[in-house]
Structure 1
Amino acid sequence: MTERQGNKCKICRVELTKFHIDHCHKTNKVRGLLCHRCNIRLAALDDAEWHASALQYLKDAAA
């Protein structure tokens, strides 16, 4: 998998020195290898309620 991705993060394409195996939390299917930064950011998107709340927070703060 590392070779198939060119030893780069599947999202931001930064070269991987360490990687996280990303997977779907519903199906457990592996989606790809990610850098730490993208793995953390993607985790927030897995929780739709949290994501919607965070977006609302940013919108309210900008007003």
Structure 2
Amino acid sequence: MLTFKVEKDGKKFHAYCQELKGCHTFGNTKAEAIKNLKNAVSLYIEDEVESQTISPLIKRKQHVKI
């Protein structure tokens, strides 16, 4: 299971996935931060697949709802 967090950071919102190192983003609103995180996670997984370095967390078939 992947854990997603969204926290207020000054005037912006910081969204990140605890298990995917470096997978984080910001948004002016909570909704924008969540949207940006969905894109960041998608790109992270695409990169792992292309480089054939898929994390064991991603190899397991699972459904993720943000």
Shared fold per TM-score greater than 0.5 = no
| TM-score between both structures, scaled by the size of structure 1 | 0.31
Q: As a proportion of its length, which structure holds more strand?
A: 2
TM-score by length of 2: 0.30
